[in-house]
Structure formats: structure tokens, C-alpha cells
A and B are shown apart, each in its own frame.
Chain A
């Protein structure tokens, strides 16, 4: 069943909606999410429609009724957006991704800053116990706006058997070595007449899809979030320096590498591939390396029917680019409190519960992937029974290695992610050359930033 429960499914919408029920003394929190039977399965059961004892205990203790309503992912996202735009406050809790929604919605004033609440439910959620980068990813202009549920950092999953076969003794530590390794694999496959295994699987579908990974390349090559002159990452910094977009400048090298690797070493359909495709290809033994969003390999391995995939898959830290910084791919699916909520304190309590160590441990148990937001869980038997400690340590290291702000935190982030990803898809497919795609991106970005009033 893992096909339904990939990382994106996890970016689940968790929207708590408060239905005004004057007859009830209890506060009701309605949550809209997706991935029934997967997300918060320990609370809402395998169908997503029941309430476990654990949840009932929480409700009793806090005098809150939590109602979860699972919907299709897109539907859930649109519900959240429309609810926030209209400021209805029907939803107390909203699902957010750290690649746009947190930045945009916080700037728009739709999200409640969580700082003042953090002390109010320490038994449920203690920020000190969570990996700091996951909180940092949800921090905009110094304010925390959401708590992380499902989160991951960069890394590569590769086939040790294939590396051995073609004489690559260890996983590359730099992008330069990586390029060599990819070429070695490609030549090796060609020499052996293997046409349906590709050195690399990534994702190049249009939209924001490739952007998380692609911007990780840009960061590693330029050494900073190279969107604007000088690398500012906040609206204030950009306005102060009137920094112009540099998509045809420092941005280009990382972008080009992503595009070229996709074209040279990726599967032929990569320009349309989403995380599902990259996962499936790896699980079906058709790729030697999945990179840099390693989680997508872990999502596919359990259901793989190719013995070598299960037996010889290994994790490696993301290689470093010419700047010395590693290729990034960092993301959290998190939940925030709507600024329009009429019961913010109760909403926060539910949020704290939904992201508590206890709940996260159950979640880690259910999915069995080597990722979690709590170091205590990372080092507990929940994961150490399943995974080599060395690998867990490497994954943990990748969290600390991450710069969650490897792209600018501006309100227009989602729009930029969309345009950047689409430009990549376009260049990978050959519809445009890299230069054409970047020229168009540059002129769009310049116009967009100007229209948004950054350079007044």
C-alpha cells in the first residue's frame, strides 16, 4: 500500500475546523487532512473515521473534541486556502508545507505566531526536544508559525551492488565525483547492453515538484540561495538592497547541473516525473541512485519486488557542491494555527498533541522509515531495530547539515517554486534550452518582483 502513502501524501492537510455548537461546552476542533489510515493512523484508525483510545483520552483530559475529516490532497489544500482567504476561522488548524505555504500565509497574516503558546503545553510539545532545523524551516522572520509532523533532509539512496559491479568503491562526496560516478554507471550499463536501468532517478515534472531538489543544487553550486543579488532571503533584505533576480547569473550553474544530469543520466520520461515516478523507478530496480530526496527511495523500498533493491540499497550523505555546501533537499509537512481561529489556545493544544513525541513515535512505527522529528525517537528501538545505527546517524547528520532557508523566505515563494520547477521541466524536455528557460525565468521574476513592489 505504500504507493498511496508517499511523502507528499504526508504533506497532508490537517485542517481543524471549529463548528460552532453552542449547546456543547466542549470546544470542537474539526481537522481536515488526507492519507486516511496513514496520517495520524494511531489517532483515527485505519479508516481515518474512528477514534482510538489514545485520542479519546486526550479529548477527555483537555475537554476538546477533535474531528478529523480526510479529503483528497488537492481538495484539502484548496479548502485551507479558501478558508484562510475568506478569514472564516472555520478551521483552527491548517496544514502547511515549508516550501511556500508557511512563508506566504504567515506574510498574509493568516497564521498565528506560535511563540507565546510554546510554554503552554510543555507536556505535549517541547521545542527543545525536536531537531532544530525542522522548527527553523517553519520560522519566518524570527517567528515560528507551524510545528513539524513529517520531515526529511537530503541524501542519496543507491545500489551498492551496481556500484561494486562498475568499480565505484564508495559513494561520491562531491558533485564532481558524482558526475564521474554517473558517467561510469552510464558507460557500464551501455557496455553491458542494459537499456532499462538508469544511473539516476530524480523528478522533473512541471510545477513546484522539482524545485526542492533543484534549489538544493543551486545552493551547493553557488554556496548561497542564489535567487537575488547578494543572496538575501527575506523581503526586508531584498528591499533594502533592491537585489535583482540572478536566475541567469549564479543560479545558472546548479540549475544547469540538475537539468543536464536529468537529461544525461535520468530516465527518458524524467521531464514529467513526480516523486511517485522516482520512487517507483528506484523500487523497480531501474535506477542506481535516487537523489537528493532520499526519502522517496525509502518510501519505495518496502514494496519493492526486486530482491537487489531490498538487499543492496544503501544511504549516503548528500555530496558537496563546488562551494563546499552539500546539495539540499529539506522539507517539512507541518501544521499551524489559523489566525482566524476562535479557540487558538485549544487549537494549539491539539496541534501540540498531533506533533507530540508520543504521536510521532506511533507514526514512525507505522511508516517504518528512518525519519522522525525527535532525536529521542531516532535513537530508540522504534528505528534502531529496523535500521543500522550508522545510517540513522548519517541521516541525523543530514538534518544538522541542512540549511532550511536554502531558498529565500518570501511571500511569493510558491509562485517562484512553480516557475523554477516548470522552467526545469521545460529545459529537461528540450522544449527550451537552459538559457531560454532561464532568460524567461529571469524576466518573469524581474517583472514579478517589480509588480510586488520590492524595488519601490
Chain B
């Protein structure tokens, strides 16, 4: 192999891949097996102790539950919205409208979080203190455990739907007109048209969008941190917030790494399911 000149051209890529991907992952794995907590000086191999501690902690299961709820509802709502908007705008030539929809995408999550926190604030916020009470919705969104989860989902949907919308729009515009005309001649209603032509032909776009979404949702941090800090209590404390807390509040780097490994596995499995379900050969 070393005599094959092609190997030497391939080598830099191989090294780059190793450095960029494998090394950090390997390091994370090692950390997850290490006793590395600043309050107890000394770093040493500690087997699966971090995982044992993690799987015994109430916060972990709490956060896993919150993450699952967050992931599920934000994803479902986002997909429906993104799809409806893409369907509504697929023939529109209005650049302004499209730009308006895509705008939230260019707003950093931190800013989006602050904005929504402010809007939903129950004492002074436009929505929380004025609009909601006016329509008889007497709940303080951010300090009510369920309300807070709903709030971060709303903000996330607002902030990330445009991305999905763009993926869907591109996919929609790539579907040849003939397919629609053929199914219309066959007597399809709009709904039948959607499920017979549109959705099946967008299958890989949907899979890609879902993949991005799952990774994105599991890793959402700034938005939630800024809006609720994971609260009230632990009502919106997702796994990524727990990870941040473990590392930077509890100074337990090994524990945070163990959580990171668990999240990596969960994300990979979710992505795998997504691929198996949607990307298999049409």
C-alpha cells in the first residue's frame, strides 16, 4: 500500500479525519471512563463509575424525559409548520415573504431566546403580560413547569422551522409538474395529491430534515439556557443543559463526558432509525 502513490494523496485526508473526528471522540470516551472531578483532585481511570452515577441520578432521567418531550413535540410541530409553509409558498415568487420566513434563521439562538423570554415574561412581556391574559390565558408561561416547556418549544419552532422550510421548499420545487398533473387527472383531491405524490417524493428531504432536527434538538442549549435556564426547577432541563451543568457547575468533567457519550449514542441511534425508516431505497 505504501508503494502505491495514491496512498500518499489519500493520507492527508485520513489524518485530517483522524484529528477532527476520531481524536475528540476517543478523548471523550476516555474522559467518560475517568474520575475527573475538580472537587476531588486527581484524574484516574475509574471504569464505568461515571455511568453508574449517571444512571442512578434523578436528574438524568428527568432530563432524558424532558429531552424526549422536547424533541418529539418540537419536531412534529416544526415539520407540520414547515410543510404547510412550503406548500403555501412553493409557487410564490415573493422574495419578501420568503425572506420574512427565513429571518428567524439568521437570528442567533441567544438573541431569539432573550426575545422570547421577554415576550413571554408574565409581568412585563407583550405576550405573557398583555395578550395572553386578554384572551383569558391565565398562566405564567415561563414559571409554570409545563408552560415553560411549551415556551421553549414555541421559541425553538419559531427559530428553527425556517431551516426545515427551506429543505422542504427545495424538495417541493424539485418534484416534476407531470407527477401532480398525472395524479390530478386520476381524480386526486388535494389531500390525496399530497399523500400520493408530494410526501413520498419528498421522502429523502424529510429524512434529511429529520436528521438535522434530531441532532439539533438534542443539542439545543443556548435557547433554553437563556429562556429558562432549564427551569423552573428542572422542567426544561434537557440533556445538553444537564451536561453543561455537570461540567461547568458541578465541575464533574468525567460525569459530563459520560453524559456526552450517552447523548452521542442516543443521537446516533435516532439518526440510524431515521435513515432506516426514510432513506431506504425507494
B185-207 interface with A by 8 A CB criterion: none
Query: B137-171 CB contact bits vs A (8 Å, 1 = yes)?
Result: 00010111100100000000000000000000000
Is A107 within 8 A of B39, CB to CB? yes
B104 proximity list for chain A (CB < 8 A): none
Question: Does the CB pair B250–A414 fall under 8 Å?
Answer: yes
Residues of A258-298 at the interface with B, using a CB-CB cut-off of 8 Å, are: 267-274, 277, 280-281, 284, 286
Query: Using Cβ atoms and an 8 Å threshold, which residues of chain B touch A346?
Result: none
Q: How large is the interface on B (under 10, 10 to 19, 20 to 34, 35 or more residues)?
A: 35 or more
Q: Name the A residues within 8 Å of B123 (CB-CB).
A: 196, 198, 267-269, 277, 281, 286
Is A205's CB within 8 Å of the partner chain B? yes
Decide yes or no whether B18 CB sits under 8 A from chain A: no
The answer to whether A411 and B122 have CB atoms under 8 Å apart is no
B39 and A206 form a contact (CB under 8 A): no
Answer whether residue A85 sits at the interface, using C-beta atoms and an 8 A cutoff: yes
Q: Are A81 and B143 in contact (CB under 8 A)?
A: no
Contact A270 B143 (CB under 8 A): yes
Please state if A429 and B124 are interface contacts (CB–CB under 8 Å): no
Given the interface pairs A206-B237, A412-B39, the reply to whether A77 lies near B251 with Cβ below 8 Å is no
Whether A429 touches B143, Cβ cut-off 8 Å, given contacts A196-B123, A271-B232, is yes
Among B72-80, B172-180, B223-231, B260-268, the stretch that binds chain A is: B223-231
Q: What residues on B are CB-neighbors of A365 within 8 Å?
A: none
- Do A429 and B231 have beta carbons less than 8 Å apart? yes
A422 within 8 A of B: yes
Are B235 and A104 within 8 A (Cβ)? no
Query: Interface size of A by Cβ–Cβ distance < 8 Å?
Result: 54
- Residue contact B232 to A418, C-beta cutoff 8 Å: no
B65 within 8 A of A: no
> Could you say which residues of chain B place their CB within 8 Å of the CB of A272?
142-143, 148, 228-229, 231-232
Q: How distant is A205 from chain B, measured CB to nearest CB, in Å?
A: 5
Interface presence of B240 (CB below 8 A): no
Q: Is B58 an interface residue (CB 8 A)?
A: yes
Q: A81-B251, A108-B38, A418-B250 are in contact. Are A268 and B122 (CB under 8 A)?
A: yes
Residues A269 and B39 in contact in the complex (CB < 8 Å), given A206-B237, A209-B229: no
- Seen from chain B, the residues whose Cβ lies within 8 Å of a Cβ on chain A are 38-41, 53, 56-58, 121-124, 128-129, 140, 142-145, 148, 228-235, 237, 245, 248-253
Q: Which A residues form the contact surface with B (CB < 8 A)?
A: 74, 77-78, 81, 85, 104-105, 107-110, 196, 198, 204-209, 267-274, 277, 280-281, 284, 286, 411-412, 414-415, 418, 422-423, 425-432, 437, 440, 444, 447, 451-453
